[in-house]
Amino acid sequence: MQIKSFQINMIKKLTFIFLLVSTLFAQTNIFEQFSNSFADIAEEVNESVVTITTTNTVQMDRDVQNFYRYWGREIPDEYESKSLGSGVIVDDENAYIVTNHHVIFDERSQKPVEEIKVQLLDKRIFEATVIGLDKATDLAVLQIEANDIKAVDLGDSEAVRVGEWVIAIGSPFSASLSHTVTAGIISALGRNDVMNNLNTYQNFIQTDAAINPGNSGGALLNMKGELIGINAAIASGGGRANAGIGFAIPSTMVKKVMNDLINKGYVVRSFLGIYMQDINEDLYETLDLKTRNGAIVSDIVDGSPASKSGFEEGDVIVSFEGKEISNGSELKNLVSSTDPGSRVKLEIYRDNKKKNIYVILEEREDIIASTSNVNYEFGLLLDNPSEDLINKYNLNEKNPSNIQGVIVTGVEENSPAKDSGLEEGDIITRVGRKKIYSTKDFLTEMSKFDDDSKVLFLVKRGASSRFITITR
């Protein structure tokens, strides 16, 4: 009996050891596979991520100069400013690159930087041309003249979930650290109002993958190696380094903005025509609301889609095309990304009763005012009239609405625009024989001309106007 009992115990122990070893072996295989998946993605996508270096001439502040001169020191009138960022190749046939607006735009001069160079993984360096800019989403599209490049696959950011593993690739701090790969998880979705003065349309993916200065414009990837976001910002607690809170622009937004900039030169956005505010506890109690989610209509723009559809002040919008909304920022993003002319259903609470309202959205005409649009065929940077531009160029008109045309805010050296005599502060009032009133009009009329054709401009400078011709 003792021998038999001993045999049984031995069998149990051997079985346990076998299962333990098998489990450990299986776990080892799982960990190895998991590790290899990260390595495979990095190896596959790294060549689609680029390092962007910019150079810009900055005028020294006059007060700073006077301060140093007071103490007997002379400093230069201008200096070169260099900065670093990242980008992602999204089209290998046309060599289009997506990056952040703030990577290649100088806020002091309100122009793109003078020189943009793109370095690939294989160390090739190319000078980049700006195709389009959108400050409202902090996105920009560049183009290089390069062959043998690889574009990243675009993923669906709407399908990602909190807790998913992600990989970030970019060039933190210095070009010598290019193509740095970090990993983390998706910490949250739909973050808005988290970065001051960054952009207007905020719908960030939050991640704890290490993102540092220089990573801006780089790739955020899912475990399929697909692009689900463009890294844009960090929350560092007052420092420069990563603190485990980074933000990326979702790929669905990137795709729309990118396609609009490439195909139209500006971003098409719809508008509803309401002023709204989020629901706080005071409003919830005072208005005796049935929900804490949604956006309260505080005012309605006359003649807007909302006014035509019967919206009233105090309406609480809780869903857009069947998708529940938690705040006004979310609603704004949904409206702006929907094509103008679309008939959409909004669910509202009015007097605490649910009601559906159908609205035909219209194109927002003033959105280009927040975005400088570039036509580098001629070396022109144009913008819609604004009080800031009127003051900057000492224009005769005091009210932007009195200016018919678009204002030249930049002219590239050695460009057709420069050769024609165009200067900053000039106002282009006609393209061909068509009057223009916005940068959108300018781009629409330019699209009607074939390559190598001559384009007639009517240009106002001061109190006089003259015609100039530039070959497209």
User: 210-258: per-residue pLDDT in tens?
Assistant: 888 888 899 999 999 999 999 987 765 555 555 678 899 999 999 999 9
Closest CA to 234 of 190, 172, 175: 172
State the chain's maximal CA–CA distance in angstroms. 117
Catalytic-role residue among 102, 315, 336, 441: 102
Predicted pLDDT of residue 177: 84
CB 239 within 8 A of CB 198: no
Beta strand pairing call for 105-106 and 111-112: antiparallel
> Where residue 371 falls among pLDDT bands split at 50, 70, 90?
very low
Predicted pLDDT of residue 366: 53
- Within 10 A of 39 (CB to CB), how many other CB atoms are there? 10
DSSP helix/strand/coil, 95: coil
Closest CA to 336 of 267, 254, 271, 262: 271
Q: Do domains 1-267 and 270-363 have the same CATH topology?
A: no
Residues 317-336 have a mean pLDDT of 89
102 included as an active-site residue: yes
Distance in angstroms (rounded) separating the CA atoms of residues 202 and 225: 24
Q: Mean pLDDT, the chain, as a whole number?
A: 82
> Residue 304, exposed/middle/buried by CB under 10 A (0-12, 13-18, 19+)?
middle
CATH topology for the 270-363 domain? Pdz3 Domain (2.30.42)
**For 372-471, which CATH superfamily applies?**
PDZ domain (2.30.42.10)
Taking only the tens place, the pLDDT of each residue in 32-56 is 666 677 888 888 898 999 999 998 8
Catalytic-role residue among 48, 86, 138, 171: 138
Q: SS3 breakdown of the chain: % helix, strand, coil, rounded to 5?
A: 25, 35, 40
**Second CATH level (architecture) for the domain 1-267:** Beta Barrel (2.40)
Predicted pLDDT of residue 34: 61
> Where residue 370 falls among pLDDT bands split at 50, 70, 90?
very low
> Where residue 7 falls among pLDDT bands split at 50, 70, 90?
low
Which of the pair, 417 or 62, is modelled with greater confidence? 417
The contacts of residue 403 (CB under 8 Å, 6+ apart) are 385, 390, 395, 397, 427
Q: Spell out the domain ranges in the chain.
A: 1-267, 270-363, 372-471
Residues 105-130 have a mean pLDDT of 87
DSSP string of 217-282, one letter each residue: T-EEE-TTS-EEEEEEEE--TTSSS--S-EEEEEHHHHHHHHHHHHHTSS---EE--EEEEE--HH
260 included as an active-site residue: no
Taking only the tens place, the pLDDT of each residue in 8-23 is 555 655 566 666 666 6
> Where residue 25 falls among pLDDT bands split at 50, 70, 90?
low
Catalytic-role residue among 157, 187, 216, 372: 216
> Where residue 401 falls among pLDDT bands split at 50, 70, 90?
low
Q: Is the per-residue pLDDT at 373 higher than 70?
A: no
Distance in angstroms (rounded) separating the CA atoms of residues 289 and 292: 7
401 included as an active-site residue: no
Which of the pair, 381 or 22, is modelled with greater confidence? 381
Residues 103-117 have a mean pLDDT of 84
Extract the tokens encoding 174: 């210095």
Angle CA(144)–CA(149)–CA(152) in degrees, nearest 5? 100
Extract the tokens encoding 152: 């990243």
Predicted pLDDT of residue 206: 92
